[in-house]
Amino acid sequence: MSKYDDLFEATAPDDSPFADKAALDPLADPPTIHARDDQERELATILNGVQEGYLPPTVSIYGPPGTGKTLTTRRVCREFAARHDRVAVEYVNLKECQTLFSAANEILAAVGGEKQGAYAGLDGVFEAIWDALEAYPEWTVLVLDEIDHVQYDANYDPSDFFYRLLRGEGRLQRGLALSVWLVSNELLEVDLRLDSRVESAMSDEAICFPPYDERELRAILEPRLERAFREGAVPDDVLADGVREAARRWGDARKALTLFRQAGERAADDGRQRLTTECLEATLETTERAAVIDRLCNLPANHFVVLAGITAWNDATGLKQPVSTGEIYDYLHQDGYPEELQLGTRTIQTLVTDLETMGLVETWIDSRGDSGRVKQIETTFEPRWVREAIDPYAADSTYLDTVFER
């Protein structure tokens, strides 16, 4: 036996709980869509409008991440187009587009045109889009995914972009029947503050994809887990716990698939052939921690500073919770603390209310007899995670950088 025979034998995953890990890849197209019958029916009804000569100018498809918006919309549109020569569907993901100009260029490329240089301007790109669409069948559905990534930029605002797309002169003159389907996490009108001329060009058609409940997640996960793991590797109680927690915490199919993959990897690392509740809990904790720290790092500076104040107090057993507004105030006014971060009581109160609305803290009133009533504040997650987020937050925040440098 050569050295490599030994090496490969030693590293071969023969005890692994996995049979086909790729079945848990959230990017893989599952053969069947589960638990989205209502949304599939709504999508099909809208598409069938072509039989009566009408598709709405826009359709909003919205809901939190991992709720099957992309999968369901693409699948139903594709299946419909495959059955109707008069209908074409194009899909464009705008996630990576930094500017509205590049978003328009992505659409142009999707409809078979050649991307334009900056000199063409937004008008030039839209002209080229209308040229390309001339060759299309009678009805075209344009699915624009992750449309909430389209933001104001130095040259255009989203209203300019949508106005051209929906009401552009070139398009109207040529009578192109284009139905634009906007996939996003929020309802766009709210998120992008589109102006009234765009809003009036949009239709009210909207399809909501709510988070999955336990029963729905189970229907999605079971066939995938069956393929992904060896027989018996996911005991019933571990499956039930994982599905329940994934539904309670996220309602997100992508995260649920990742949870079971990582729990399986943890089991394999521990030399186990079966997943245990401990593997699952440890994975949940890591996933939750990463998700919370990520959220904290995206908070505005004052919100973060207040959270740092809430989690700054120690008692004999470690971090002290709950704290009062007064204690947050004291922390932010200690000697040597930068003046810019010495927030007043009113501001602290408002920020605590914001944090409560975001689900990051909870508060209640404690009655202290003669000394009155005191608001108590506590994080809804492990308070140590705020301390862990301080370094990454500061590294990314030019504001805190300047404040502490002075």
Ligand X SMILES: Nc1ncnc2c1ncn2[C@@H]1O[C@H](COP(=O)(O)OP(=O)(O)OP(=O)(O)O)[C@@H](O)[C@H]1O
Measured from the CB atom, is 133 or 220 closer to ligand X? 220
From the CB of 138, what's the least distance to ligand X, in Å?
28
Strand boundaries in 37-170, DSSP class E: 58-62, 87-93, 139-145
Q: What is the SS3 assignment for 229-286? A: ECCCCCCHHHHHHHHHHHHHHCCCHHHHHHHHHHHHHHHHHCCCCCCCHHHHHHHHHH
For residue 107, give both structure tokens. 């659409």
Contact window for ligand X (CB under 6 A) among 48-56, 69-77, 167-175, 308-316:
69-77
Residue 36 binds ligand X, judged by CB under 6 A: yes
The residue within the footprint of ligand X, chosen from 102, 151, 159, 185 (CB under 6 A), is 185
For residue 10, give both structure tokens. 């030693």
The residue within the footprint of ligand X, chosen from 103, 125, 178, 253 (CB under 6 A), is 253
Backbone angles phi, psi at 142, to 5 degrees: -110, 110
Measured from the CB atom, is 35 or 306 closer to ligand X? 35
Residue 149 binds ligand X, judged by CB under 6 A: no
Measured from the CB atom, is 84 or 149 closer to ligand X? 149
From the CB of 221, what's the least distance to ligand X, in Å?
9
* Partners of 229 in the β-ladder: 18
Which of 301, 289, 284, 282 lies closest to 388, judged by CA? 289
For residue 387, give both structure tokens. 């301390």
Ranges within 100-139 binding ligand X (CB under 6 A): none
- CA angle at residue 402 from 401 to 406, to 5 degrees? 120
Position with the least CB separation from ligand X: 68
Measured from the CB atom, is 254 or 274 closer to ligand X? 254
Ranges within 261-290 binding ligand X (CB under 6 A): none
Contact 279, 267 (CB under 8 A): yes
Contact window for ligand X (CB under 6 A) among 8-16, 33-41, 186-194, 381-389:
33-41
Q: Measuring CA to CA, how many Å separate 320 from each of 289, 323, 337?
A: 19, 7, 21
Measured from the CB atom, is 178 or 257 closer to ligand X? 257
Q: Residue-wise over 105-141: b if at least 16 C-beta within 10 A, else e?
A: bbbbbbbebeebeeebebebbbbbbbebbeebeebbb
Of the CA atoms within 13 Å of residue 260, those in its CB half-sphere come to 38
Residue 314 is inside which H or E element, if any? strand 314-315
Measured from the CB atom, is 65 or 121 closer to ligand X? 65
Residue 65 binds ligand X, judged by CB under 6 A: yes
The residue count for the chain: 406
From the CB of 31, what's the least distance to ligand X, in Å?
9
Residue 60 binds ligand X, judged by CB under 6 A: no
Give the per-residue contact string, 200-239, with ligand X (x = CB under 6 A; - = no).
Answer: ---------x----------x-------------------
Measured from the CB atom, is 67 or 325 closer to ligand X? 67
Residue 254 binds ligand X, judged by CB under 6 A: yes
Which of 398, 383, 400, 394 lies closest to 292, judged by CA? 383
From the CB of 147, what's the least distance to ligand X, in Å?
11
**DSSP designation for 323:** B
From the CB of 201, what's the least distance to ligand X, in Å?
24
CA dihedral 386, 390, 396, 401 (to 10 degrees): 140
From the CB of 185, what's the least distance to ligand X, in Å?
6
Q: Measuring CA to CA, how many Å separate 346 from each of 228, 342, 343?
A: 54, 12, 8
**Residue 406 burial by Cβ neighbours in a 10 Å radius (0-12, 13-18, 19+):** exposed
Residue 93 binds ligand X, judged by CB under 6 A: no
- Helices and strands, counts by H and E, the chain: 18, 9
The residue within the footprint of ligand X, chosen from 57, 70, 163, 278 (CB under 6 A), is 70
Q: What residues are designated binding site? A: 67-71, 212, 224
The residue within the footprint of ligand X, chosen from 26, 57, 121, 170 (CB under 6 A), is 26
| Number of residues lying near ligand X (CB under 6 A) | 19
Q: What is the pairing mode between strands 58-62 and 361-367?
A: unpaired
What is the number of other CB atoms lying within 10 angstroms of the CB of residue 18?
A: 19
The residue within the footprint of ligand X, chosen from 67, 258, 287, 325 (CB under 6 A), is 67
The residue within the footprint of ligand X, chosen from 17, 23, 35, 127 (CB under 6 A), is 35
From the CB of 206, what's the least distance to ligand X, in Å?
15
From the CB of 47, what's the least distance to ligand X, in Å?
18
Site residues (vs ligand X, CB under 6 A): 26, 30, 33-36, 63, 65-71, 185, 209, 220, 253-254
